[in-house]
Structure 1
Amino acid sequence: MALDGLLLHKLQENLSQMTPMKINKCSQVSEHEMLFYIRSKAKNCKLMISTHSQYNRINLTNENYQSPAVAGNFGMVLRKYIDGGMIISIRQLGLDRILDFEIIAYDDLSDPHTYHLYVELMGKYANLVLVENNRIIDALKRIPPFENNIRPIFPGMEFTLPTQFEKKDPFLEEDFNCDESLSKQFHGFSPLLSREFIYRLHNHESFRDIMNELENSESLYVYEKENQFHCIELKHLHSSFSVYPLMRGFDVVYYHAQEKERIREQSGDLYKVVKKELHKNTSKLKKLKETLALANDCDHYRIYGDLLYAYSYQYPQKMEAVDLEDFETGQMIHIPLDVKYDIKYNAKKYYQKYKKSKTAQIEVAKQIDLCEKEIEYFTLLQSQLEYASFDDAKEIRSELEKNGYLRIQKNIRKPKKNALPHFITLNFKGNNIYIGKNNLQNDYLTFHFARKEDWWFHTLDYHGAHVIVQCDELSEEIIRTCAMLASYYSQGKDSSSVPVAYTKIKNLKKAKGKAIGQALMNSYKTIYIDPDEKKVIELLDTYKK
């Protein structure tokens, strides 16, 4: 799954139609991502540029991005030089995966400067480089001369473009060798697109017709199973696909995938703590169960003590072991002794072991119960982090800080005490649907926000979201929609026939001794449903408030 030169050409055409664009703000939202808040033709937009090795891209986005508490170095450089500047042109260097943003900005003395922001989207070599007068001001990824003496990227050095290869322009020429990959003959072709062209050519489509289809396309065809996409249908994959508007398609493909990395980057200790606590308690539970098994096998200590006291007058001397007849079975029992003590004192020691084991049975059972609750709690948090947004992750962090698992971060802006959790709200055909994706959101929605006659949906046998719907009549369409959302935001997301329970709020009560947000049901109905990511994305795009 990679961006090729011809797909970038389509993106460049779309962006060029918006020039000139004023840069209102530059924000480095992660180690690899820059977000530009721009204004074009009396409309505010957000332009995302990612230089991630797998998720590198450029597209207009409507998604919300959380800026980190501390701005990145390159983000500060862009703010200094091009904030408030005007993007007057965006051109692609041939059909390579390089865009040149020409920007005019003014310094503190109101003198104009012309800058070039080079966007290089070449897989693991993806980069952003700010240049003035062919001298590098700075880059998102600095490459000093000792790492690459052919093309170093370092402040103050002369900027050079990557080596250009002699290939044909597919918009001007169409002669090719069928026995060789088109990616080796034409600029802008990826191996994926080359295979598609070869397939179509063998099925009697002309090279020029395919190029015209590509040039006129304004959609992105996404193949989820194959993890591929392009702006034309990839017929050679023989698979189902989804079609999105070009810019929106990139958000669908990349936003949630890179969001997890973004959250990990800004809240890395959060994931580590959850994983560490889960591993610690899992190991502890195993040892506790072994200890309990030994404690339960303690009756023989009492028997040893009884026999030693009964026969102590026959063995006044100190011994290493003794064989005595059991009162009940008549069998001989071999009893190890501590040679340092007499028979009576050894009997006393066995009684102490017996008493200690009986006490351990009670205390270790309590510890096992606590440990199992901890495992359940951190398993729940781990599953919530899998589909958490940045706001969801912040609320999970706040919960862990409150419970003493994480140190409270200093010099970080905290939410107001009475601030409401960031739950998802949909207006589905006149009915409000609310989705809680962590413990704080679930607790608030279920036990504080919802009315007694509202309906509540939750997966059975899986940790997941609480889904609340306010409606006069619970139709089959609403049931299936809410069940779909509940199954998608749960541990059963990748399963089929996920059981989802639904009942009225009045049939719920808080689960005592459990994590915040967990509920018990008096009565409920069940529906089985297959989670469908495509349908959930469509629901969020169409009905999200």
Structure 2
Amino acid sequence: MNLDGLTLSVLVRELAAHIVNSQIQRLLQIDKTTLLFRLNTHNGNRNLIITVGAKPSIYMANHLTDIPKEPTSLCMFLRKHIEGARLTSIEQVNGDRIIHITADKLALDGTLVATHIYVELMGKYSNCIFVQDGVVLESLIHVSPVMNRERTVSPKQPYELPPNAERTSIFDFSEKEIKGILHSFPDDTVGKTIRKLFNGFGPVLLREVCYRAKINEKDIWGNLSEDSIDQLATALYSLRCELATANVLYEYTLTSGKKIASPIPLSYLTTDESASQTVHDSLSYAIETDITASGSIHTAGHDLERLLTQAIKKEELRHSKIEAEVSDTSKADTYKAYGDLLMINAYQDSHYAASITVDNVLIDPVVPITIPLTPELSIVENAQSYYKLYTKLKNRTKSGRYQLEQSRIRIDYLQSILYSLELATTSNEVQAIRTECESAGLIKKSKKPLPYKPAKDNFIRIHLDGGELIIGRNNQQNDYLTHRWAKPFDTWFHTLHTQGSHVILKCDGEPTEELLELAARYAAYFSKARESSKVPVDYTLVKYIKKPPASPPGFVIYTHQKTLYVDPLIPQEDVIQQ
């Protein structure tokens, strides 16, 4: 959701009501382009997120995703300067896409140190810059002279506003003054004139103001009548007044699927029946929803997902290479036949010959066959060489099949971890998966100990008529649930040949066919096949499940199973207990 300067003015007003006079309790860095400020406000603790990555934004976060465990060097440096500081103001600079936040902190000598945070939300040039006494303290993104000849952003350099940031804001003028400005400083077209004079006009609001003035943004300014210019000035002032009191966000969805956001109702789309409209009471909430859906902020969970995806691709490539080597062993029988034929014809004189042609008596009918030779070796020595190649390929076949099986198990294990990550909803659950990745050697073990001990029994529970389903969230829980927690005569469910959770059905007595089918449908939902239909689900008693020695977490073998083909069932909120 790309916000123009005018929409940003509404967002700044909303943020000011929450964060002015709040205290920065903690600064965290979620990824390379995203900072999280934990604030103590008059309404309790709140979270302010500033991101300058794929979708540059600033907003109040209600639902925090997992936060990286280790603080970055940038985060540690900034904490010394702004943690404990009080946010005294937040304002927009000249109506542009620049937000200026002031944080005051009492130094050890009793002086008040002001840190100015400039959040520049300008597409690929977005940045978050910390300034003290007009000098850059630090920034999320360093800009060298090679990257940008007009402006450098690096520590100890003077801070300068971006080019064109000195243009005026439409909020600074009355209707009469706007008319005077339009008459005095015309440009090529209507659109260029408005954008040259006033900051903050994106394509949506520019089209809206031209629609209200009944002119086209591409019209040549010199062709406009005095009445048209006056109508444009009136439309601009009317837009200014509406924006000054706006406090919601209108989101329009076109038939093409494109979404358009505006802080005021759009007249040119209101008449379009093909556009559906949604009204968000909070701009922060709308931005948070959009960013969460797009996954543009790379949290610890995203980093784990990327790492696991790379590990799976690497293992699949290794698997295909082993398969190629195993298939290449088809030459083994040919090498043995060469050796046998050379031993049969060992009496022939073929010293220093590159090949020999003999009758292939090993097949019927007999046909001539040409066998390549190593010239400096005798026929018997060549036969022994072919026997060695035969033995080597036969051993490779045996070893290759074992390696293929181990590679398949590892791929399944990695995919099961990736599935567990999809189920994780809290930072503690993500941390448990990260710990499993550390144990598996996928990532380097953290030197910092966990501040808590991950619970093994916080399963997902679903209450059914006649029983209860217990579902593991990750491989560690699956192991504990199946081999430690469940009883021998409980019923165990798992999707066939598909990564999923271990599901245990506990009930009094023998489960009915209806209860078994219902449990199987839930087991299909808590798997990677949740979007499929007719999913095969195996079920058996817990006593028939075994864990092979040295096998990865979550891996089991079982017998006496039966298979149900069911459609996944989404559990209702009133029956599920997290």
Fold similarity call, TM over 0.5: yes
Q: Which segments of 5 or more consecutive residues in structure 1 lack a partner in the other structure?
A: none
419, 423, 441: which is aligned to 2:454? 419
Contact in 1 for aligned 2:460/2:472 (Cα 8 Å): no
Distance 1:237 1:511 in 2: 61
Distance 1:67 1:316 in 2: 75
498, 513, 526: which is aligned to 1:486? 526
Identity of aligned residues (%): 23
Instruction: Show the counterpart of 2:217.
Output: none
**Which structure is higher in RCO with an 8 Å CA cutoff and minimum separation 6?**
2
Instruction: Show the counterpart of 2:300.
Output: 263
SS of the aligned residue for 2:299 comes to: helix
Distance 2:210 2:556 in 1: 57
1:21 correspondence with 2:22 = yes
Residue 143 to residue 342, structure 1, CA distance change in 2 (3 Å)? closer
Distance 2:131 2:431 in 1: 37
402, 410, 413: which is aligned to 1:366? 402
Instruction: Show the counterpart of 1:165.
Output: 167
- Higher Cα Rg: structure 1 or 2? 2
CA shift, 1:464, in A, is: 4.2
Contact in 2 for aligned 1:222/1:241 (Cα 8 Å): yes
Deviation readout 1:130-158 (Å, 9 max, x if unpaired): 33454444333343566545443344444
Distance 2:141 2:64 in 1: 25
Instruction: Show the counterpart of 2:7.
Output: 7
SS of the aligned residue for 1:292 comes to: helix
192, 200, 211: which is aligned to 1:188? 200
Residue 347 to residue 544, structure 1, CA distance change in 2 (3 Å)? same
Deviation readout 1:6-61 (Å, 9 max, x if unpaired): 33233222222233212222223332222222122251111111122434332233
Distance 1:71 1:99 in 2: 24
SS of the aligned residue for 1:100 comes to: strand
Residue 7 to residue 386, structure 1, CA distance change in 2 (3 Å)? farther
Instruction: Show the counterpart of 1:87.
Output: 87
Contact in 2 for aligned 1:214/1:231 (Cα 8 Å): no
SS of the aligned residue for 2:119 comes to: strand
Residue 510 to residue 351, structure 1, CA distance change in 2 (3 Å)? same
**Counterparts of residues 393-542 of structure 1 (less than 5 Å):** 394-409=431-446, 411-414=447-450, 419-420=454-455, 436=472, 438-449=474-485, 462-465=498-501, 482=522, 486=526, 490=528, 497=533, 499=535, 501=537, 506=542, 509-510=545-546, 512=548, 515-518=552-555, 522-528=561-567
Contact in 1 for aligned 2:250/2:262 (Cα 8 Å): yes
1:39 correspondence with 2:40 = yes
Q: Which segments of 5 or more consecutive residues in structure 2 lack a partner in the other structure?
A: 183-187, 215-233
CA shift, 1:507, in A, is: 8.7
Distance 2:193 2:491 in 1: 57
CA shift, 1:115, in A, is: 3.7
307, 310, 329: which is aligned to 2:364? 329
Which has the higher mean CA deviation after the structures are superposed, 10-19 or 461-470?
461-470
CA shift, 1:107, in A, is: 0.9
Distance 2:306 2:410 in 1: 18
CA shift, 1:121, in A, is: 1.9
Specify the code of the residue in structure 1 equivalent to 2:311: V
Distance 1:76 1:325 in 2: 78
Residue 396 to residue 3, structure 1, CA distance change in 2 (3 Å)? same
Contact in 2 for aligned 1:274/1:381 (Cα 8 Å): no
Instruction: Show the counterpart of 2:61.
Output: 60
Contact in 2 for aligned 1:101/1:116 (Cα 8 Å): yes
RMSD across aligned C-alpha pairs, in angstroms? 5.3
Contact in 2 for aligned 1:457/1:468 (Cα 8 Å): yes
Distance 1:526 1:29 in 2: 42
Distance 1:527 1:199 in 2: 55
TM normalised by structure 1 equals: 0.73
Distance 2:326 2:148 in 1: 57
Deviation readout 1:355-381 (Å, 9 max, x if unpaired): 444444333322332233334334444
SS of the aligned residue for 1:374 comes to: helix
SS of the aligned residue for 1:277 comes to: helix
SS of the aligned residue for 1:12 comes to: helix
Residue 36 to residue 323, structure 1, CA distance change in 2 (3 Å)? same
